[in-house]
Amino acid sequence: MPKPVVLIAEELSPATVEALGPDFEIRHANGADRAELLAVIPEVDAILIRSATKVDAEALAAATRLKVVARAGVGLDNVDVKAATQAGVMVVNAPLSNVVSAAEHAIGLLLAVARNIPAANSSLRAGEWKRSKYTGTELYEKTIGVLGLGRIGVLVAQRLSAFGMNVIAYDPYVQPGRAAQMGVRLVPLPELLAAADMITVHLPKTPETLGLLGEAELALVKPGVLIVNAARGGLVDEHALYVALKEGRVAGAGIDVFVTEPTTESPLFELENVVVTPHLGASTEEAQEKAGIAVARSVRLALAGELVPDAVNVQGGVIAEDVRPGIPLTEKLGRIFTALAGEVAQQLDVEVRGEITEHDVKVLELAALKGVFTDVVEEQVSYVNAPLLAAERGLEVRLVTDADSPEFRNLVTLRGTLADGRQVSVAGTLVGPKHHEKLVEVDGFDIEIEPAAHMAVLRYVDRPGIVGVVGRILGETNVNIAGMQVSRDRKGGQALVAMTVDSAIPQAALDEIVREIDAVNARSIDLDD
């Protein structure tokens, strides 16, 4: 039997090839050369890339033998994951390879800003000796505000604690007890902004976090604060930050990421008290080597037909064919659950009912956790780190199976308890031979609606005119309703609206709906990747 062919399309560390082992035929090509890539990709079973090779729908269509695309790094902007999924091609990356490097880079930026290192370096090289001009600020006994306690945020908090800093953090998805174990005090965002001498951002980029530090928030900061963003471009509003720096409300900033990348022009570049780097968070030899070794191992697993924990789309391994279609549905349920809860639950049951329980459905528990944390943490969530994320945040998970499913052939329900005792639940099923996904229950209310990229769920007291009010406000905001279901426990009792819309609902419009219908609860849900 011929050996599977693995194409290394960009320069990777020798350790990557060593980790692949002798079981494959290794070929090399310049993946950035489009013609060369399209010429060789039909003959390969796996391709290893970094950021320069574009594996899009055209490349995937040409890759008739391809089984796995491996990105030696975290980002997947150069891989069409949707097209790969449709083609049955697994996509893997190395989600944990750069966490230490990213944490250290954030701290490096903070020190550079606090001690004016780049500006002083440039001044001295220009023949100036201006010690008093570049007097800096100590980190010792200052208060550092960490936005986001994911893996990178935790590493930053631990390291800055060793500097003798007082660490506070904002992360609505972390239990206070878990933060306390790390010596970190959780506070609301306004309190952090008012108390922190220095702020470092380590949140994922979601509709909720985009522009998290904008004009209004920067008006609340402690005068003279230093701000570092080495997470994602857009979490800190660049124009609002520029204005705050010019006005002196913010004393300095360290920025590694930008809304548009690559970027070589920005008003921020004009300011001497801003330290900028071209997205270097993961750019260390160690991170690159870890990434190469990690994806090489994933390629070995994928081509051997085994479960690949770091796969971001099609899961490999010994998973029953009847179970596989439920994996993406369950991941969506996890994301919807988190959006409805607004926090990480203390306890979560993953209930699986019906014929599917004849098989091993443990993978659905992992899929649920992957979905729960996808929009919560900065790092990539996989089947291997999702249980660790749950443990770190004090989330107890239980898989419950029952062959009896009275209403549906198979049913997956996520049912959780929040810190205040509130219960949240969401259920879904697959319909027909093409496995169409359906949401069939939210918080005990029966519905039947297809999940979509943009959705909303409203809870209110049942009475006439509500649907009209909701439609009017969304219409005024130019948001089109694609589908809507109304459910209630009784006439004049509690009611729930679940709807899909063609575009994300602006927060201002959602707030207006809440006011006008006196909603008990209102949540927007965005599953657009």
CATH number at residue 215: 3.40.50.720
Asked which of 318, 343, 374 is the last residue of a domain, the reply is 318
Question: Could you tell me if 492 and 426 lie in one domain?
Answer: no
Asked which of 408, 435, 451 is the last residue of a domain, the reply is 451
pLDDT of residue 73: 86
Question: Could you tell me if 334 and 442 lie in one domain?
Answer: yes
Question: Could you tell me if 323 and 378 lie in one domain?
Answer: yes
Question: Could you tell me if 474 and 417 lie in one domain?
Answer: no
Question: Could you tell me if 311 and 323 lie in one domain?
Answer: no
d(CA 235, CA 257): 9
d(CA 291, CA 70): 10
pLDDT of residue 130: 94
Question: Could you tell me if 419 and 309 lie in one domain?
Answer: no
User: What pTM value is reported for the model?
Assistant: 0.72
**CATH number of the domain where residue 457 is located:** 3.30.70.260
Whether 261 sits among the annotated catalytic residues: the reply is yes
Asked which of 429, 451, 473 is the last residue of a domain, the reply is 451
Question: Could you tell me if 195 and 223 lie in one domain?
Answer: yes
pLDDT of residue 363: 86
Q: Give average pLDDT by consecutive 10-residue segment, the chain, 529 residues.
A: 91 90 93 95 95 93 93 87 82 88 97 97 95 95 96 94 97 84 93 98 88 96 97 95 96 96 94 96 91 92 80 67 87 95 92 92 90 84 77 91 92 94 95 91 94 94 94 95 93 93 92 93 87
Whether 215 sits among the annotated catalytic residues: the reply is no
pLDDT of residue 388: 80
> 141, 261, 270, 306: which one is catalytic?
261
Question: Could you tell me if 241 and 329 lie in one domain?
Answer: no
Task: Domain of residue 506: give its range.
Answer: 452-529
Question: Could you tell me if 250 and 304 lie in one domain?
Answer: no
Q: How many beta carbons lie within 10 A of that of residue 52, not counting itself?
A: 13
Whether 459 sits among the annotated catalytic residues: the reply is no
d(CA 62, CA 71): 19
d(CA 230, CA 105): 8
Question: Could you tell me if 131 and 272 lie in one domain?
Answer: yes
Question: Could you tell me if 291 and 373 lie in one domain?
Answer: no
Question: Could you tell me if 251 and 110 lie in one domain?
Answer: yes
> 28, 279, 359, 422: which one is catalytic?
279
In 196-309, where does DSSP find H-type helix?
215-218, 238-247, 285-303
pLDDT of residue 84: 86
What total of structural domains would you count in the chain? 4
> 50, 232, 335, 523: which one is catalytic?
232
Mean pLDDT of the chain: 92
**CATH number of the domain where residue 439 is located:** 3.30.1330.90
pLDDT of residue 150: 86
pLDDT of residue 341: 93
- Of 358, 377, 378, 366, nearest to 330 by C-alpha is 366
> Contact 345/418 with Cβ under 8 angstroms?
yes
Break the chain down into helix, strand, coil percent, rounded to 5.
Answer: 35, 25, 40
